[in-house]
Structure 1
Amino acid sequence: MIQKGVIVILFFVLLGNPISVMAQTEPEDIAMATDEYQDAFYESLKQKGIENYDKAIASLDKCVKLKPNDAVAYFELGKNYLSLKDYRNAQDSFEKATQLDPKNKWYWLGIYDVSYETKNYPLAIETIQKIIAFDEEYKDDLISLYMITNQFDKALVTINEMNDKFGKSEDRDRYKMQILSQGKYQNAEITNLIDQIKKSPKEESNYINLIFLYSKAEETDKALEVAKQLAKEVPTSEWAQVSLFKVYIDANQADKAIKAMNVILSSSKIDSKIKHRTLNEFLIFVNKNPQYAPDLEKAIAYFDNDKEIDVAKEVGKFYHSKGQFENAIKYYEKDLKSNSDTDRETNLLLLEAYTQAKQFEPMTKRAMNMIEIYPSQPQFYYYAGLGNNQLQQFKNAKTVLEMGLDYVVDDKALEANFNIQLGEAYNGLGDAKKKEEYFLKANELLKKKK
């Protein structure tokens, strides 16, 4: 059961007069019409207390015979039948109690208990809606029933109603996240959040939830607009720093931008997509203002445990595309050190950057190490051969290139490069004939490639 009332036993005995029970007194606030009725009722309570439910029911049957229209006796019968899991008789007894006193919510809760335990959810929903007329907080039970029966649209409307009237709750937030994980409900929630922001412009959580939904829908520009609005209304918010960072970067206020960025990147509340976008904007800024490179290094450290994106690798690619190979090397090496040192793609990017930067010693060493890990990958043999040639280790170059050439399949450009390097190796070894032979092969392959 999701909510339970606390049943308080309170007896009022007025000498010589029958007892009248107020409409909304709890059902065990009972009066005894006669000594015989009183004795039977007390006996039922005693037997129920020691879990002798059959004997309690027998005593209550006496009460019903003495007072056929006593709703309290029927309610007690229902509770005892429910304890025995005799759901049919329990429901009949609770229904009789509601017929005799339809304004007492406890009797309706008896029917609700039966319907919930028997998983008769349509009846549970119908019953709880009647109980809500007495106590609106039972809408939380209604939300749970809507969730159980997959009526998410009704649940979402009711959650928003309850949040608006009573404030948020942990259970409602959990249900809401479950509903919004299904995309078709997000537009309705976006509209609701926009309305909530208009009503309560200082309530930070509505902005954050709206930013989250826009971010999840890949509408980052809209998310940033909401962050900008939040910065205006709640400037102390961590999310507000997202907007302020953009303002500071555009105004070339580096110190303020870096401070805002560090708040963003260290926040456990801010979505990772926003963090990646912030870092990317700072990377572009640092490319134009290299004096802030140490701050970029510190920023990248926030992503060391990021399972979604190898940030250092992406920064390396950025510098690679700009022809800044020294910087690219630094970040490729950082990525390999932080993650997997054997990642094939990163190693190939690093070897290419080494080549462009003319760092042939580390290139050759890494390529030879990678051959041991990937013995059938021809690219590593190629870089090892190229590096050995540049280091004038022509015999080593010849050996490794001849080994690797066997693994080249359907790649004319790579095969041509192998032949060029073999020609260079034989040239270094003083074999002009072999040099020309491999250069001619390379030339033919390049013609076929065209």
Structure 2
Amino acid sequence: MITIIKYILFTVPFMGSIYIPVAAQEIEPQQEVNVDDLGNVSDEFQELFFEALTKKGIENYEKAIDALEKCIAIDPKVEVLYFELGKNYLALKQYELAKVNFEKALEDNPNNRFILEQLFEVHFALHDYKASIEVVSQLVGFDTMYREQLVNLYFLDQRYDDALQTLDEVVAEYGEDQYRRTLRKRITLKLDNPTTQIARLENKIKAAPKNEQPYVNLIYLYSQTNQNRKAFEVAKALLAQIPTSEVAHLALYKFYLDDNQTDLAVASMKIALQSSTMDSDSKYKVLNDFIIFVGRNPQFEKQLIEVTEAFSKTDSSGKIFNDIGNFYYEKGERELALNYYERGLKDAVNDIGLIQRTLELQIELKRFEKAKFGSELALELYPTQPIIYLLNAQALIALKAYDEAIETLETGLDYILDNVVIESQFYTMMSKAYQALGDASKAKEFEQKATQLQNKS
């Protein structure tokens, strides 16, 4: 079977050694070779050949190569021998020998998809991106999804104009997604001179003014190259041609905010946030920009609530409710902050930081029953988090459940690792619980332990 390539990992030079998983075309398994594929060969040849397949099957590649070499000595004209040799050398990571044999196998089968796919794997392993591009260009004829692989290879070969043009073709056929948006950003950041790309996109718009994607790509290109006014003009042109375009508002709201046209900005943000086609990351950016704006212009707080509600109707909103909660927390409006934190938890139960902030505010605002219930649920999810045990104990003490609080604190102590601050807080809380139970001796013992730790910190 031919190995399935699921990812290509490439280094992004301008960000250091960061590896980006790039979705690659899966290689389909070739049918196993049978005796009819060998042609008219001797019994000895057949035995050696199938011995080679057997050895390869148990990953004894050296023995498989020996058997194949003996086959070649008997009859060097059987084409499949070189393909099999290449696969064994590839498995051994002897890439140059694998390449020689795959190229020999291609001499009489220049359009064999299976050989081309293996040859691509070899070229890529050798970091020979030009040769990889040549092979993958042939593979596009078998499956157009290989064009996405071409984008990656053009990027690696520093052919950024070709990469963007090919990416546009991929998006036109298969649509946009988060990976392709990220890839576009990385390629665009590498452009020294975007003139060629701008001219190409402008021509595409002239040729097909009702096609939304070239406008979107041109807006993005202008924005990434700090030509914001031009991006704004393209966004307005897009809306003029396609009044129902939602993505145009991703560009328009920002300019409206900068120009203090708040009503227009809010209208654009509502459209963007209620869109069923825009990705969540773009929506978060819209709302985060508005939070920053309202921080400087508090008179627009009502509009912030409006756009938040619009967003929450269409998307999982844990992150943005957290951001809104932080906004109100920093303003000292604890009740509003708690309201948004609690709403955010519905979609972010795996956010331990948000859980902690919510419990702390519930205790601060004397919502002890809520804090008790919430911390118990949190402990089911995070049974090794000391801070949750501490908050649970605080709620229990406030509810006069002193024995339960002590039990919780004793359990939580086992999960404290080299943190004298939180350990001292545990002992302080235990002292309070014992004091409430009327056990002055125990209360003093734990108070002293807390003091000793505080002196160490």
TM-score range, shorter chain: 0.5 to 0.7
Q: How far did residue 274 of structure 1 move?
A: 3.5
What residue in structure 2 maps to residue 426 of structure 1? 434
Provide the identity percentage.
31
Q: TM-score, normalised by structure 1?
A: 0.54
| Counterpart in the other structure of 2:199 | 195
Q: Distance in 1 between matches of 2:421 and 2:327?
A: 25
CA pair 447-299 structure 1, distance change in 2 beyond 3 A:
farther
Determine the structure 2 residue equivalent to 1:291.
Answer: 302
Moved more, 330-339 or 422-431: 330-339
Q: 1:360 to 1:225 in 2, by over 3 A?
A: farther
- 2:378 corresponds to which letter in structure 1? M
- State how far apart, in whole Å, the 2-side matches of 1:169 and 1:408 are: 53
Per the alignment, residue 258 of structure 1 pairs with 266
Give the AA of the match of 1:330: N
Provide the residue aligned with 1:363 in structure 2: 371
Match 1:351 to one of 352, 356, 359: 359
1:346, CA displacement in angstroms? 3.0
Contact 1:286 1:296 (C-alpha < 8 Å) held by counterparts: no
- 1:396-415 aligned at under 5 Å gives the runs 396-415=404-423
Residues 225-245 of structure 1, C-alpha deviation per residue, up to 9 Å, x if partnerless?
553131343443544423432
Post-superposition offset of 1:191: 3.3
Superposed displacement of residue 268, structure 1 = 5.4
Mean Cα deviation higher: 316-325 or 149-158: 149-158
Structure 2 counterpart of 1:119: 111
Q: 1:249 to 1:355 in 2, by over 3 A?
A: farther
Aligned partner of residue 310 in structure 1, secondary structure: helix
1:181 Cα deviation after fit: 4.6
1:316 to 300, 316, 325: 325
Residue 423 of structure 2 contacts residue 450 of structure 2 at CA under 8 Å; is this kept in 1? yes
Aligned to 2:122: none
Alignment equivalent of 1:231, drawn from 209, 215, 235: 235
- Cα RMSD (Å): 4.7
Per the alignment, do residues 403 and 305 of structure 1 end up closer, same or farther by CA in structure 2, a change over 3 Å counting?
Answer: closer
Shift of residue 196, structure 1, vs aligned partner:
3.5
Deviations 1:108-146, CA, capped at 9 Å, x for gaps? xxxxxxx9984299xxxxxxxxxxxxxxxxxxxxx9659
* Structure 2 residue runs without a partner (length 5+): 1-106, 114-135, 142-146
Whether the 8 Å contact between 1:245 and 1:256 is mirrored in structure 2 is yes
Pair 400,446 (structure 1): closer, same or farther in 2 beyond 3 Å: same
8 Å CA contact 2:435, 2:443 repeated in 1: yes
Paired with 2:348 and 2:253, the residues of 1 have a C-alpha distance of: 29
Please state how far the C-alpha of 1:417 moved relative to its aligned partner. 0.7
Structure 1 residues 374-401: Cα deviation after superposition (integer angstroms, max 9, x where no partner): 3333222111111122233333322322
For the structure 1 residues 305 and 200, does the alpha-carbon distance in structure 2 shift closer, same or farther, using more than 3 Å as the test?
Answer: same
SS in 1 for 2:384: coil
Q: What is aligned with 1:329?
A: 338
TM-score of the pair, normalised by structure 2: 0.53
Q: Does the alignment pair 1:374 with 2:382?
A: yes
Is contact 1:196-1:206 (8 Å) kept?
A: no
Displacement, 1:300? 3.0
How many residue pairs end up in the alignment?
A: 305
Q: Mean Cα displacement is larger for which, 391-400 or 360-369?
A: 391-400
- Separation of aligned partners in 1, 2:430 and 2:159: 72
Q: Which amino acid aligns with 2:445?
A: E
User: Contact between 2:236 and 2:252, CA under 8 Å: does it hold in 1?
Assistant: no
Aligned match for 1:242, one of 242, 247, 250? 250
| Deviation (angstroms), 1:305 | 4.2
Q: Which residue of 2 aligns with 1:4?
A: none
Give the direction of change, closer, same or farther, for the CA distance of 1:238–1:374 in structure 2 (3 Å limit): closer
SS of residue paired to 1:410: coil
State which drifts further: 145-154 or 253-262: 145-154
Gap runs ≥5 in structure 1: 1-114, 122-142
Of structures 1 and 2, the larger Rg is shown by 1
User: Which residue does 2:449 correspond to in 1?
Assistant: 441
